[in-house]
Structures are given as structure tokens and as C-alpha cells.
Chains A and B, each alone.
Chain A
């Protein structure tokens, strides 16, 4: 059944244009920072960005750039270039694509702006340490590493002291890099705005609890960009407030994300950036709406630890207990809670060769979901950016069989 143009039009999100506008403005600011006298810091996606915002430093995310590279299907070429430089094809494709684009000064938007400093937090993986060291040598700029101990079960007192002390070192690093005093009042304000942005992002994602859902995880993958890159800024808060209003209006008007939502699914791991449209159409053709995902939720998952009256302490805990820095048993609890919250019929796991910390433990999580909730799951083997690792017919067979299984079960 093909959808009418009117159906497609009413389903189109109005906020998309606004988002593109904000992101364009953001990248223009970052690319022209040299002329405006602003400093640019490259930072990992799970790194504490708020102190940078408080210091008027423009944060730039090689991982967000990696997503752009993937979505614009430039990943295979850049990854191959990195391999020619001697990097292993087993290495993270964000790292490979970023390192290669630095060298050729190419890729989408003609490459990222040159960094004045690098901020690396290992709460998402260990690869970032070497990746940022490589870039620090290449650009000959200072690197700050925030080491967040892995929280198998809890955030111990020792970990707390250890991370908190590094936050002070981080602030000293920024003071040294900018030759400016750190403004703690401004920090408090940025912290408040950051928490508000995360709350609004969570509220946007929560609208998918409604049946039919007004959005899919593919929409979330797109609208995620601001909470990643501009967390702690007013523009992010304003944007998510208007996006939330749009989602609520869609719910009120009964506008669903896909034409006929019959099945609701949960996605795990990073998106397959170069196959977003294909995947979303594939699932929609099965009347399946991917209503939620563990990935975009990661940018508001720490809300429960966040306290705007004690931002720096709570930030230390929140960033240390990020989704990829906790034990598999803790991840299972989060996934099970999402299965219940969004009331899903199946679980789709992207086993991402490119992201080991995210993919390790997926079979355990899958087993727990099947045991505790009895819903089917499927594994899609791929790479987030390197499209050479994607096999369409294999993926299609898995998805079709998975949907047939769910159909059998629901009948």
C-alpha cells in the first residue's frame, strides 16, 4: 500500500527546518571562530560540555560529525583512507572517518573547524583516548582527559572524589587555555539550562508512549543533534520546547509517525546512519514503529542524578554513570524499564562492529528481555558509518523474519 501525498505531508515534522537552521548557524559560528576570536574545543559525545559553554568556548563533536559523514554516505571512502594511513578496519568508524577527514580537510561541510583544545571523557569507550591523542598530536593542541571509572554497580566514594577532583582540573585547564577566570555564577546558570534541556528532551521522547506514536526513533536520531552539541544553551531549550509542543499537537490531532502503527519496537545501539531511510521504510512497511531507543535516551538518562543547586557534583556523577559506563546488569534494568514504559512488542539490536562497548553484552540483554518479558528480538550486524559492512539482503531477511515472528505471536 503506498501512502498518499497528503498523508506524507501531514506526517512531516515542522521542526525539521528549524533544526537544520540552528545546526547550520552553529557550524558557521564554529568554522568562523578564528575570525570572531572564539575558541573551539573538540569534545567526546559523553563529555561534560557545560563548563565549555560557561567559558564561551564553542564545543565541536567529532562524533556528531561522524554521524553527518555516515548520513551523507561518505563513510566508506573516509574509512578506507584511514586504513591506507595504517588504521585497522576494526577500529571505530567515527574515529577512522574523523582522522581521515582531518588529514584531507574534507568530508561534509569541508571538514571540522580546527580545534584550540581537546576534551576527552572515557565514559563512552576507551577508543576515544587514543583517537584524541592522535588528534592532539596532529593539531598540536592541549588535551584534557576526564577519566570516569566504570560503575559496575555503584558510584563509590572513591570514584566520586576522583572524578570531582578532575572536574576542578578541567576548570583549571579551561582557565589556562582561555586565560580567563572561570565564572561559577555563569556555570550555575548553564547547569540549570542544561538540566532543563535534558528534561525537555526526555519529555519529547516520552510522547512516543502514546498510541499511535507521534515519532519514531529515526526522528529521535535526527532531533538528537542539539542535546548532544549544544547542551546547556538557551537555543536548545527553546527548540525542544517547540518540538515538544509539536509532538503534543500531533498526539492531540492523532497524527502518527507511520501510516499504520500495529507493532511497537525498541531499538538498541547507534543508528546505521547511511541506511536510516531504508530502515525506517522497511519497518514502516511492516506497520512497525520503532518508538524508542537506548541511544537517544542516553542524553537524558542521567537526569535522575542531576541537581541544579549542586551542578558540578551532580554532573560528575551523571557523566560517570552514563549508559556505556555501567555494568550489563544495570543496562538490563534500563532496557526492561523501556520495554515496559513504551509498551513494545519486539526488540531490535544493532550489533555494531564499530562500537564495542555498546555491542558487548547485547546477547545477555537479549536473553534477559526474552526471559523477563517474552518478546522477540532480532540482531542486525552492521557498522554505524562504514557502509561497506552492511548487507542489505541479510538485513532484510532478518527484519522480515522477525516481523513474521511478531505477527505470528500477536495474531
Chain B
């Protein structure tokens, strides 16, 4: 059975196509302002890349904030359930999933059968999300992709105490003015994100194996900071960013 999952997040749109439990292809693009358009265009782009025709796809599940705007999907399913299913697909032993996306972060406790037992989500606040990191990258005049490697060179992470994105940004600017090194400030930013997420994770209860998914999982600095904060090792799949779309495609095979 060939299925597709389309995950429309606040910053990026992701698509995945699976055939009998095997990943045929995945794709990531910016969502832009038109979520409806984003769903169609990423789906069509992935089909073209795989040289497939739309009728070969038997079922489609949409997920993410824009899940209801993907009108051609058979069913919308929340990203919480999809990230659980995706992580379980990538590692059937997984018990905790930490998903950090553009506008929210969430922690899922996963049952042995891959269903979600419980979850916690960030309050309506950008702290501990990809958007927070984007704002900080702008303040640091750095490329977000360099954040991870740069932070690993830090020996003494700066202290960023504010959890409010706006206040943290001015804290970062004053740290720059004080002459603290770029590496230390970035490492401090990662620790601040990790501290926010780890308190949420503790609320749900952290059981190993732990997997991190979502776009922020690409940032090795955040992953390491979270590992230190939680005292566990965290697995990151190469498919971390498209995990929600993969989970959606997995669920599509069941409907």
C-alpha cells in the first residue's frame, strides 16, 4: 500500500511517501503564508521527484498546524499522534519523543504499541521553540545552521535567565555588548531552550529510549544540552524533521 503524509508546520511543510512500510521519499519546504497552497505544492513536488502519479497514492493523512487546510487529504490527524507513530516507525523501542518545531515544543510518552500515552505542550509562548532560536540567530547575526557546531566549542555557556523570547533577545544583545564569545552565548541559548523543554519532559516523565524529532533536532547543540539537562542519551534520526509526515503516512495505511 502506498500512502502519503503531509505535515504543514508553522515554518516548514514536510511530505513523506511510504510503500508497504518503506520510505520512498521525503521533502521539506517553507510553508509561506498560504498553508493550503503549501500542502499541494510540496506533495506535487515530492511526487515529481519520485516520478510518481497522484492516483498511485492510496491514502493521505495531513498533520501539523495546517492539517485542516490540506483539502485533498483523507484525514487530518494531530502532530502529536503522528510524531508518536513516526518515532515508533523509526525505532519501535522508543518510549519518549521530544518534538521541537517552529512554534511549539512537545513531549510525548509513547506506549509499547506506538500509541501516545500522554503529552505536554509548551504554553502559548515562543520560548523553547524553533522560532526562539530564529530570533536569537538574528540577534547573533549567525546562520541558524551554524548554531549547533559553534555551541559545541563553548567551554563556559553564558547564562540566559529570561524565558521570554523578547527579553532573552535583549539579554543576548547585552551579552554581545559585554564581549562574551559567540560560542558561549549560543551555548547559553541552547541551555535555556533545554531547560524549558526538560521541565515539560519531567512533567510527562522521561523513559528511555528517548528520541528527538522536529526541525530543532537538527541542532546538535540543543540535543546535547537536553541530554545534559535530562541525564539521558537522545537519539536523532536523519528523518527527524520529517518524522511527523512519516507518522502521518504510517497512520494513512491504517485508515
Do A and B bind?
A: yes
A interface with B by C-beta (< 8 Å): 363, 370, 376-377, 379, 381, 389, 391, 393-394, 397-398, 400-401, 404-405, 408-409
Closest-CB distance, B207 to chain A (whole angstroms):
14
* B118 interfacial by beta-carbon distance below 8 Å: yes
Given contacts A381-B123, A391-B124, A394-B121, contact A408 B116 (CB under 8 A): yes
* B119 interfacial by beta-carbon distance below 8 Å: yes
Q: Is the CB of A397 within 8 A of B118?
A: no
Expressed in whole angstroms, the Cα–Cα distance for A380 and B239 within the complex equals 30
Expressed in whole angstroms, the Cα–Cα distance for A12 and B123 within the complex equals 36
Given contacts A363-B203, A376-B118, A405-B116, contact A397 B124 (CB under 8 A): no
Q: Is the CB of B81 within 8 A of A397?
A: no
Closest-CB distance, B88 to chain A (whole angstroms):
12
Q: Is the CB of B116 within 8 A of A397?
A: no
Q: Which of B72-80, B211-219, B220-228 contacts A (4 or more CB under 8 A)?
A: B72-80
Q: Is the CB of A401 within 8 A of B80?
A: yes
What are 29 A-B contacts with C-beta separation under 8 Å?
A370-B118, A379-B120, A381-B124, A389-B124, A391-B124, A393-B65, A394-B104, A394-B121, A397-B65, A397-B78, A397-B79, A397-B80, A398-B121, A400-B76, A400-B78, A401-B78, A401-B116, A401-B119, A404-B77, A404-B78, A404-B80, A405-B80, A405-B81, A405-B115, A405-B116, A405-B118, A408-B115, A408-B116, A409-B115
Expressed in whole angstroms, the Cα–Cα distance for A174 and B115 within the complex equals 60
Expressed in whole angstroms, the Cα–Cα distance for A389 and B124 within the complex equals 9
Expressed in whole angstroms, the Cα–Cα distance for A408 and B116 within the complex equals 8
* Interfacial chain B residues near A394, Cβ < 8 Å: 104, 121, 124
Closest-CB distance, A356 to chain B (whole angstroms):
15
Expressed in whole angstroms, the Cα–Cα distance for A155 and B65 within the complex equals 49
From B78, B81, B116, residue with most partner A Cβ within 10 Å: B78
Expressed in whole angstroms, the Cα–Cα distance for A376 and B120 within the complex equals 12
Closest-CB distance, A146 to chain B (whole angstroms):
35
Q: Mark B65-97, 1 if CB is under 8 A from A, else 0.
A: 100000000001111110000000000000000
Known contacts A405-B116, A405-B117, then 10 further A-B pairs from the complex at CB < 8 Å, ordered by chain A residue = A379-B120, A381-B124, A401-B80, A401-B81, A401-B116, A401-B119, A404-B80, A405-B81, A405-B115, A408-B116
* Interfacial chain B residues near A401, Cβ < 8 Å: 78-81, 116, 119
B interface with A by C-beta (< 8 Å): 65, 76-81, 104, 115-121, 123-124, 203
Closest-CB distance, A399 to chain B (whole angstroms):
9
The 6 closest A-B pairs by CB, nearest first: A401-B80, A401-B78, A408-B115, A391-B124, A400-B78, A404-B81
* Interfacial chain B residues near A391, Cβ < 8 Å: 124
Expressed in whole angstroms, the Cα–Cα distance for A400 and B119 within the complex equals 12
* Interfacial chain B residues near A408, Cβ < 8 Å: 81, 115-116
Expressed in whole angstroms, the Cα–Cα distance for A379 and B107 within the complex equals 14
* Interfacial chain A residues near B120, Cβ < 8 Å: 379
* Interfacial chain B residues near A377, Cβ < 8 Å: 118
Expressed in whole angstroms, the Cα–Cα distance for A363 and B118 within the complex equals 13
Q: Which residue of A lies closest to B83 (CB)?
A: A401
Closest-CB distance, A103 to chain B (whole angstroms):
29
Q: Which residue of A lies closest to B116 (CB)?
A: A405
Expressed in whole angstroms, the Cα–Cα distance for A93 and B159 within the complex equals 34
Q: Which residue of A lies closest to B121 (CB)?
A: A398
Closest-CB distance, B101 to chain A (whole angstroms):
11
Closest-CB distance, A171 to chain B (whole angstroms):
46
Closest-CB distance, A121 to chain B (whole angstroms):
31
Expressed in whole angstroms, the Cα–Cα distance for A398 and B106 within the complex equals 11
Closest-CB distance, B55 to chain A (whole angstroms):
28
* Interfacial chain B residues near A379, Cβ < 8 Å: 120
* Interfacial chain A residues near B116, Cβ < 8 Å: 401, 404-405, 408
* Interfacial chain B residues near A397, Cβ < 8 Å: 65, 78-80, 121
* Interfacial chain B residues near A404, Cβ < 8 Å: 77-78, 80-81, 116
Q: Which residue of B lies closest to A398 (CB)?
A: B121
Expressed in whole angstroms, the Cα–Cα distance for A397 and B120 within the complex equals 12
Expressed in whole angstroms, the Cα–Cα distance for A3 and B120 within the complex equals 33
Expressed in whole angstroms, the Cα–Cα distance for A401 and B120 within the complex equals 11
Closest-CB distance, A349 to chain B (whole angstroms):
12
* Interfacial chain B residues near A376, Cβ < 8 Å: 117-118
Q: Which residue of A lies closest to B76 (CB)?
A: A400
Expressed in whole angstroms, the Cα–Cα distance for A92 and B77 within the complex equals 35
Expressed in whole angstroms, the Cα–Cα distance for A154 and B118 within the complex equals 34
* Interfacial chain A residues near B81, Cβ < 8 Å: 401, 404-405, 408
Q: Which residue of A lies closest to B111 (CB)?
A: A408
Expressed in whole angstroms, the Cα–Cα distance for A339 and B174 within the complex equals 51
Expressed in whole angstroms, the Cα–Cα distance for A230 and B117 within the complex equals 44
Expressed in whole angstroms, the Cα–Cα distance for A393 and B115 within the complex equals 23
Expressed in whole angstroms, the Cα–Cα distance for A397 and B67 within the complex equals 10
Expressed in whole angstroms, the Cα–Cα distance for A409 and B117 within the complex equals 9
* Interfacial chain A residues near B65, Cβ < 8 Å: 393, 397
Expressed in whole angstroms, the Cα–Cα distance for A404 and B84 within the complex equals 12
Q: Which residue of B lies closest to A382 (CB)?
A: B124
Closest-CB distance, B215 to chain A (whole angstroms):
17
* Interfacial chain A residues near B115, Cβ < 8 Å: 405, 408-409
Q: Which residue of B lies closest to A367 (CB)?
A: B203
Expressed in whole angstroms, the Cα–Cα distance for A363 and B200 within the complex equals 11
Expressed in whole angstroms, the Cα–Cα distance for A391 and B119 within the complex equals 18
* Interfacial chain A residues near B104, Cβ < 8 Å: 394
Closest-CB distance, B214 to chain A (whole angstroms):
14
Expressed in whole angstroms, the Cα–Cα distance for A394 and B119 within the complex equals 14
Expressed in whole angstroms, the Cα–Cα distance for A267 and B77 within the complex equals 23
Expressed in whole angstroms, the Cα–Cα distance for A369 and B133 within the complex equals 36
Q: Which residue of B lies closest to A400 (CB)?
A: B78
* Interfacial chain A residues near B76, Cβ < 8 Å: 400
Closest-CB distance, B199 to chain A (whole angstroms):
11
Expressed in whole angstroms, the Cα–Cα distance for A394 and B116 within the complex equals 18
* Interfacial chain B residues near A363, Cβ < 8 Å: 203
